Each structure stands twice: as structure tokens, then as C-alpha cells.
Structure 1
């Protein structure tokens, strides 16, 4: 192993040990809830998200052909990430009438704008790739 790998390994183990010490300082009920939540996340990933991603990827690959596939796949992945990040605040569960500074943005509109930007990059990528390919062909 090289020196940078050893340093990264030591740093990772140190941070992991520090996190374990912090968790062990919590009440037992909280530790159990963390373990249940983490276990549930693994189960949901393995039995819902992973199969769904495989089916969507397989179907998408059959529907979107040629050079359009890579940018569409990247845009779909970015869209899924944006949607998952927006879920906790989408219906403003923490908003309080007496404190308008909590969740003070229009999150649904922000999500729509973000998705529009992501998907508008797909044709822009195609135009850029075509220009690069044309430039390479002329040189």
C-alpha cells in the first residue's frame, strides 16, 4: 500500500471509531431506532430501489437508442436524486405559521426548475458532442 492509501485508511478508521463512540453515548432506545432505520433502508434499497432501477434501466435502454442513451441515463439519475432530496420538504412539514423563515421557499417550483435544467442539458450535450465529433473529423 502506498502512503496516501495508508493515510486515507487511518483517517477512515479514526472517523468511524469517533462516530461509534458518539453513537454509544446515545440512549439505548435511540441506538435501536438507528439500527432499525438503517436495516429498513437496506431492505428498501435491495427490494424496491435496486429492482426498480434495473427495470427502468433495461426498459430505457430499449426505448432510447444510440448516442441519446448516456445523457438520458444521467438526466434520469439526477432527476431521481433531486426528487428523493425534495421529498422531505415537498409538503413543508416543518413550516410554522408563527415562524415564516422555516421552509420559506416554494420547493415544488424549485424542483420543477431543477428538473427542467437537468433535462435541458440532454439536447445541449448532443449538440456539443456533435460539434466535437465534426471538429475531430475535420482535423
Structure 2
């Protein structure tokens, strides 16, 4: 299986190199890829690791992890539409204010995570005060 996956990876690299070589501006694509690599490894990955360490030390790990995963997915889906320069080619692509709506949805995710964390905390405290039956 390792050999099959390795050969498939080499084939895909060759296809990508061929496609890159026929572009009118391959240097622009390489600069973009390099920038993406630097942004990911230099900014995004350290921030995600720091957030993971902060969440692991907190009392409400589950709800916070869920909220962060949901927020990350929402931002990844909407970010290309928000960052695209100029008017969209299709006016129905952005009929609403996506920036404001993203902020509203992210706030709703944060409130939902807070409610789940508070309910879990309340249940744990309520469970401690009960006398043991048996």
C-alpha cells in the first residue's frame, strides 16, 4: 500500500508540475503557494497550537473545542467570498452582508458553547450535592 500511495503521489506531483509549466505566469502561482506555506506554518499553525494548549487547560474543553471547530469551518467557507476583490460575477452570490452575518453566526456559536458549558457545570455541581442512596 505504501508503494501504491507513493507512486500515486509522484504521479500527482508530475501532473501538477505539467499544469504549472503551461501557465502564462508560473512565477505568480509559485509566489502564491510560497505565501500560503509561510502563512500556514508561520501564523495559522502556531495560533491553532496555542489555542489547543489554552483549551486543554480550561474547565469546559468539550464545548470550547466544538465551538472552535464550528467557527473555523464557518470562517473557511465564507472567507473566500469575503476576501474576493471587486463585485462578484454573479450578483446572487453575495446578496446579503456576509461579514455581518458571519459575525452574528459566530456570536451564536459562542453563546451556544457557553450555554452548554454552563449546563454541564450546573449538572456536575448538582450531582455532587446529592446524598448517596443504596
TM class by shorter chain equals: 0.5 to 0.7
TM-score where L is the length of structure 1: 0.59
- Which residue in 1 is equivalent to 2:77? 85
Partner Cα distance (2:84, 2:21) in 1: 32
What pairs up with 1:1-139 in 2 under 5 angstroms?
2=1, 5-27=2-24, 30-62=25-57, 64-65=58-59, 68-90=60-82, 93-95=85-87, 100-108=91-99, 109=101, 112-113=104-105, 116=108, 120=112, 123=116
Deviation at 1:89, TM superposition (A): 1.9
Quick one: higher RCO (CA 8 Å, sep 6+), 1 or 2?
2
Q: Deviations over 1:68-115 (max 9, x none)?
A: 31342242133123224322323774436x953343344242664477
Asked whether the 8 Å contact 1:23–1:31 carries over to 2, the reply is yes
SS at match of 2:70: helix
RMSD value, Cα:
3.5
C-alpha displacement of 1:14: 2.0
Q: Distance in 1 between matches of 2:31 and 2:95?
A: 32
Distance in structure 1 (CA, Å) of the matches to 2:53 and 2:22: 46
Q: What's the TM-score, normalizing by structure 2?
A: 0.60
Between the aligned partners of 1:31 and 1:92, the Cα distance in structure 2 is 21
Unaligned stretches of 5+ residues in structure 1: 131-139
